[in-house]
Amino acid sequence: MPKTLTQKILERHLVKGEYEPGNEIGIRIDQTLTQDATGTMACLQFEAMGIDRVKTDHSVSFVDHNTIQIGFENADDHRYLQTVAAKYGIDYSRAGNGICHQVHLERFGRPGTTLLGSDSHTPTGGGIGQIAIGAGGLDVALAMAGEPFYLTCPKVIKINLTGRLNSWVSAKDVILKILGIFGTKGNVGCIFEYSGPGVKTLTVPERATITNMGAECGVTTSIFPSDEQTRKFLRAQAREDDWQELAADSDAEYSKVMEINLSELVPLAATPHSPGNISTVRELEGMEVNQVCVGSCTNSSYRDLMMVAKILKGKKAHPNVSFILAPGSKQVLDMLARNGALADLLETGVRLEESACGFCIGNSQSPQTDAVSLRTSNRNFLARSGTKSANVYLVSPETAAAAITTGKITDPRDLEMPYPEIAVPDEFIIDDSMIIPPSDDPESIEIYRGPNIGEPPSNDPLPETIAGVVTIKVEDNITTDHIIPAGSRMKYRSNVPRYSEFLFEVLDTGFYNRAREIRDSGMHNIIVGGLSYGQGSSREHAALCPMYMGVKVVLAKSFERIHTANLINFGIVPVAFRNEDDYDKIEQGDRLEIPDIQKKIRLGEGQRISFSQAGCCHISRIKSRRNRNEREDHSKNTDSRNGWG
Ligand code: MIC
Ligand code: SF4
C-alpha cells in the first residue's frame, strides 16, 4: 500500500491508536524545543512531574523572545531556564544565539524525526523533513518526560509544486499564495505535504519559510521531502550524518491535491490584520511606508539577509523609513559579519537588533501611530506590533528591501538591477559556544528562582454543572494575541495573576474587572467566540490566565488545534455550537447553565478534540440577565464593566 511521507514518519513513531485520518493517535517525540516565553511554564510543569532527566533523544531550551531586559523579570527567567536545562539534560541556547526555529533547523533538526515545540512555528522543521508540531508547554513538558503526544491523525493535503520561481519572487510569496487559497481557518487536522518537480528548486531555508508560515493556515504541520537539497544544507552545517533520503511513494493517495506552478507566482503581501488577507504587491504599490522590519523565524536566514544586503548595497534607507533588521541566528550574523554584507547593511542606516524574535512579537520597534509597517515576519494581527493603529503588511525580503530604498510599497521587479543569486554556502560558520550542554553533575545544580517565578496556578475539579455568565462575546478569527497580548506584557509570563490583568485588553479593557467580580461572586466565567477561536500562537497563557480568572467553558463556532488542547489541559471545556446560528442567540452578560458536563465529556469517549467538535454538550439558557432593549440602552453606557454587578 503506497504511503505519504507523513504516514511513513508517523507510523514509525506510533505508540497509541491506529494510523487512520481522524483517529486520535499517540506518537513518540524524538526532539523537543522550548522558548523562554512558553518555556518557564513548561519547565515548572516538568519539574512538578518529579523526573530526573528528560527522556527524549534531544531537548533544547532557547532564549529568544523576552530578550529585552527592562526590569529584572526576563533575566530571572533566563537564569531559571539555564539551571533547569543543566539539571535535567537539556541543551540551553543563550539569549543572542538566535530564534529557536532558525537555530534548531541549522544545528539540530533531523529528517525523519518528530519534533514537538512550545511554539506554533515549530513546523519550520518540516523544511528539513521533520514532522515538527507546535503545542502548549504542558504537552511539551509531557513529551520531555517521555509521554506520547496525542493528536488527531491528520488528513494529508498534497501541494504539488511545478515550475521554478521567477526572479524577485521568493518562498514568502509561495506561502502567501497558499494562504490566499486555504485561508487561516478551516484547515485544522490537516498536514500540507509538498511534492512535485518544483520541490528540488527550493533550498532548505526557502522550504523552511514555507513550512514556518503554514502555521498561519492552522494546519498541524507542513513537510518537505528530504533530498539532495537537504543533504547539501546538512553538509554545509557539518551534519551530513543526520541526512537520510525521504519521500512519499509516487502513487500515494492524498485527501486533496493542490497544484502550484511556481513560475506563475508574483510578489504578494498579507494586508492588515490577518496573514490570510492576500494582495499582489502591484495592487498596493505607491503606498508610503514608515517602517520596514526584516527578520523573524520566517525570513531571517543567511539567504534572506544576503538578499536584502545585496539589493541595498551602496544605497541608503529612505529618510522616512525606519529600517530594522534582526538576524535569525548568531550563525547568520557571523556569516554576514565575515563576508562584508553587515558593513553594507550598516551603510544603509539600518537599526540592528540582536539575533532574536525582536520586533516580531512587539516587544521592541513598535511603529508610530497609524504607521504603515512592512515586515518579513508571519503575523500581522491587530496590535501585535505594539501599536494598535499601525497597519502591518507581511512581505518577502525582496519586497521589503525595495521599500527601504523607495519609501513606498514597490514591486521589486521594478528595481533596476539584476536579481541577486544567493546559493546555500558550502560551509556555514559553526560555533556552538552559545549552546550550553547539560551538566555532568546534575545533583550539584541548584535551580535558581527569582521573584518573578511563581508556581503555576492550580485549578478546581470541573463541577458537575457549569453555571456562569458570558463575560465576553467575541467575533470570528480571535487570535491568542487578542486573548492575551505578548509584547511589553510578556515579561509577566511567569506571573499568572499579574499577566491575567491584560486578558482581552486589545478588544475590551473591562474584561478583567468583570471576570474578577464574577469569579469572586462564586459564578463561572464563560467566553463566547466565533469561527476559528484561538488562532495563532501556542501560548498556553491564553488558557492558563482565563483558568485563573475562573473561566470554565469557551463556547465557539470552531476552535484552532493548539488552543483547544491548551484549554483542555487547563480544565476549560471547549464546546462547539452544534448549530452555528446559536451564536447569535447569546449576548454578553447572559447567564448560561450547562448541566452534567462531566457526564457529557465521558460520553465523548475521552476523545478530547472530538468532544468539542461534535458539539455534544447541550446548553440551556436559564435566563437572560437583561432583555434586548435593556442591552441596547446599556450599549450607550461607557462604563467598562458593562453594567454587571
Ligand atoms: C508568536 O509568534 O506568537 C509566539 C510569541 O512565538 C508564540 C509563542 C508565545 O506566545 O510565547 C507562538 O507562536 O506560539
Ligand atoms: Fe519569534 Fe516571531 Fe517566530 Fe514567534 S513568529 S517564534 S515571535 S520570530
pLDDT of residue 452: 82
Domain that holds residue 372: 268-414
> Is residue 620 very low, low, confident or very high in pLDDT (cuts 50, 70, 90)?
very low
438 found inside a domain: no
Tell me: do 93 and 241 sit in the same domain.
yes
Spacing, Cα 405 to ligand 1 middle (Å): 31
d(CA 452, CA 277): 39
d(CA 517, CA 264): 56
- The 10s digit of each residue's pLDDT in 289-300 is 999 999 999 999
- At 284 the three-state DSSP class reads helix
Measured by CA distance, the residue closest to atom 7 of ligand 2 is 361
**Which run of H or E residues covers position 544?**
helix 541-548
114 found inside a domain: yes
Q: For 128-143, what is the mean pLDDT?
A: 98
pLDDT of residue 363: 92
111 found inside a domain: yes
Measured by CA distance, the residue closest to atom 7 of ligand 1 is 537
d(CA 412, CA 598): 57
637 found inside a domain: yes
Tell me: do 248 and 336 sit in the same domain.
no
Residues near 43 by Cβ (< 8 Å), separated by ≥ 6? 34, 61, 80, 81, 84, 141
Whether the upstream peptide bond of residue 273 has omega within 30° of 0, thus cis, is yes
Cβ atoms 339, 345 nearer than 8 A: no
Last residue of a domain, one of 264, 288, 304: 264
237 found inside a domain: yes
Last residue of a domain, one of 264, 291, 317: 264
pLDDT of residue 273: 98
DSSP 340: T
Cβ of 378 closer than 6 Å to ligand 2, yes or no, is: yes
Probe residue for ligand 1, chosen from 41, 119, 293, 494 as the CB with the greatest number of ligand atoms within 8 Å: 119
Where helices occur in 340-433 by DSSP H, the ranges are: 341-348, 397-406
Pairing state between β 256-261 and 155-162: parallel
pLDDT of residue 612: 34
Probe residue for ligand 1, chosen from 34, 36, 38 as the CB with the greatest number of ligand atoms within 8 Å: 38
> Is residue 455 very low, low, confident or very high in pLDDT (cuts 50, 70, 90)?
confident
Tell me: do 403 and 528 sit in the same domain.
no
CATH code (residue 400): 3.30.499.10
Q: Give Rg (Cα) of the chain.
A: 24
Measured by CA distance, the residue closest to atom 1 of ligand 2 is 357
Tell me: do 47 and 159 sit in the same domain.
yes
- The 10s digit of each residue's pLDDT in 571-609 is 999 999 989 999 999 999 999 998 988 888 887 643 333
Q: 411-437: b or e for each residue (b if 16 or more CB lie within 10 Å)?
A: bbbebeeebbebebbeebeeeeebbbe
pLDDT of residue 453: 84
Measured by CA distance, the residue closest to atom 3 of ligand 1 is 537
Q: 524-535: b or e for each residue (b if 16 or more CB lie within 10 Å)?
A: bbbbbbbbbbbb
Tell me: do 242 and 111 sit in the same domain.
yes
What is this structure's pTM? 0.94
| Tally of structural domains, the chain | 3
Atom of ligand 1 nearest to the CA of 538: 14
442 found inside a domain: no
d(CA 45, CA 52): 13
Tell me: do 126 and 40 sit in the same domain.
yes
Cβ of 144 closer than 6 Å to ligand 1, yes or no, is: no
Measured by CA distance, the residue closest to atom 9 of ligand 1 is 539
Q: Which residue has the cell 529528517?
A: 111
CB-neighbour burial class of residue 515 (10 A; exposed 0-12, middle 13-18, buried 19+)? buried
Where helices occur in 170-243 by DSSP H, the ranges are: 171-182, 204-214, 228-236
Cβ of 215 closer than 6 Å to ligand 2, yes or no, is: no
Cβ of 119 closer than 6 Å to ligand 2, yes or no, is: yes
Spacing, Cα 488 to ligand 2 middle (Å): 15
Write out the three cell numbers for 304.
534572506
Spacing, Cα 100 to ligand 2 middle (Å): 8
Tell me: do 309 and 214 sit in the same domain.
no
Percent helix, strand, coil in the chain, to 5, is 35, 20, 45
615 found inside a domain: yes
Q: 361-385: b or e for each residue (b if 16 or more CB lie within 10 Å)?
A: bbbbbbbeeebbbbbbbbbbbbbbb
Atom of ligand 2 nearest to the CA of 101: 6
Cβ atoms 165, 413 nearer than 8 A: no
pLDDT of residue 69: 94
Cβ of 135 closer than 6 Å to ligand 1, yes or no, is: no
CATH code (residue 495): 3.20.19.10
Cβ of 33 closer than 6 Å to ligand 2, yes or no, is: no
Among all bound ligands, the one having the nearest atom to the CA of 134 is 1
Last residue of a domain, one of 195, 229, 264: 264
Cβ of 452 closer than 6 Å to ligand 1, yes or no, is: no
Residue 494 has pLDDT above 80, yes or no: yes
433 found inside a domain: no
Spacing, Cα 434 to ligand 1 middle (Å): 22
pLDDT of residue 435: 98
d(CA 172, CA 304): 10
| Cα dihedral: 198, 199, 204, 210 (round 10) | 80
Cβ of 424 closer than 6 Å to ligand 2, yes or no, is: no
Name the nearest CA neighbour of 43 among 83, 76, 72: 83
Summary mean pLDDT of the chain: 93
Tell me: do 547 and 506 sit in the same domain.
yes
Cβ of 297 closer than 6 Å to ligand 1, yes or no, is: no
Spacing, Cα 607 to ligand 1 middle (Å): 27
d(CA 130, CA 225): 9
Tell me: do 333 and 319 sit in the same domain.
yes
Atom of ligand 2 nearest to the CA of 300: 8
Cβ of 361 closer than 6 Å to ligand 1, yes or no, is: yes
Tell me: do 407 and 366 sit in the same domain.
yes
Tell me: do 173 and 68 sit in the same domain.
yes
d(CA 211, CA 176): 11
Residue 514 has pLDDT above 90, yes or no: yes
If you count them, how many residues does the chain have? 645
Tell me: do 19 and 158 sit in the same domain.
yes
